[in-house]
C-alpha cells in the first residue's frame, strides 16, 4: 500500500526533523516528543478506520486510536507530576476491554446473519 509507506515516511521525517538534528541541545525527550508519537498513532488508527473495509481491521484500528489517547494521558501525567492521568488510563483500558467484548459479539452476530464481515456488504441503511 502506497499510503502506508507515505505515512511511515512522514512519521520518520517528523520524528527526526533536520532542524532538531542540528539543535543537539534540544534533543532531550520531553512531553512534545511523546505527544507527537501519540498524534501520529491516532492518525494511523483514523486512517485505518477510514480506509480499510474489513470490520475486524477497523476494530483493531479503533484500538490503536484508544492506545494513542492512553499514551498522551500517561505522558501528561508524567510531566505534570500527577497520577490522575494514569488512573484515567486504567479506566480506559477496562472500558476498552468491555467494548471489545461487546463489539466482537456484535460482529459475530452480524456475520451469522449476513455471512460477511465487509463494510461494503452492509448497505441496509443506504438511501
Partner 1 sequence: MGLPDILFYVFAALTLLCGVLVVANPFSRSPVTSAMFLVLTIISLAGLFVLLHAFFLAAVQIIVYAGAVIVLFLFVIMLLDLKEEQRRKIKMFGFVGGLVSVGAIVAISLKALKAAHPGTDLPAPQLEGGTAALGKLLFTQYVLPFEIVSVLLLVAMVGVILLSKKDLK
By CB under 8 A, the residues from 51 to 90 that bind partner 1 are: 51-54, 56-57, 59-61, 63-64, 67, 70-71, 74-75, 77-84, 86-87, 89-90
- Contact status, residue 83 vs residue 120, Cβ threshold 8 Å: no
Q: 12, 13, 114, 122: which one contacts partner 1 (CB under 8 A)? A: 12
Which residue of 13, 20, 23, 101 would you call a contact of partner 1, by CB under 8 A?
A: 101
Task: Select the residue interacting with partner 1 from 40, 69, 124, 127 (CB under 8 A).
Answer: 40
Torsion of CA 57, 91, 69, 85, to 10 degrees: -170
CB distance 70 to 79 below 8 Å: no
Distance, CA of 116 to CA of 56 (rounded, Å): 11
When asked if residue 31 is in the footprint of partner 1 (CB under 8 A), the reply is yes
Instruction: Tell me the site size for partner 1, rule CB under 8 A.
Output: 81
Cell representation of residue 1: 500500500
Amino acid at each position: 500500500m502506497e499510503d502506508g509507506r507515505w505515512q511511515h515516511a512522514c512519521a520518520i521525517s517528523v520524528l527526526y526533523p533536520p532542524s532538531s538534528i542540528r539543535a543537539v541541545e534540544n534533543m532531550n525527550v520531553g512531553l512534545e516528543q511523546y505527544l507527537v508519537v501519540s498524534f501520529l498513532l491516532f492518525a494511523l488508527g483514523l486512517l485505518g478506520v477510514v480506509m480499510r473495509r474489513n470490520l475486524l481491521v477497523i476494530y483493531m484500528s479503533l484500538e490503536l486510536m484508544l492506545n494513542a489517547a492512553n499514551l498522551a494521558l500517561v505522558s501528561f501525567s508524567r510531566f505534570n507530576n500527577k497520577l490522575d492521568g494514569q488512573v484515567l488510563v486504567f479506566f480506559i483500558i477496562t472500558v476498552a476491554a468491555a467494548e471489545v467484548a461487546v463489539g466482537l459479539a456484535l460482529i459475530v452476530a452480524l456475520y451469522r446473519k449476513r455471512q460477511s464481515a465487509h463494510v461494503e456488504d452492509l448497505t441496509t441503511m443506504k438511501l
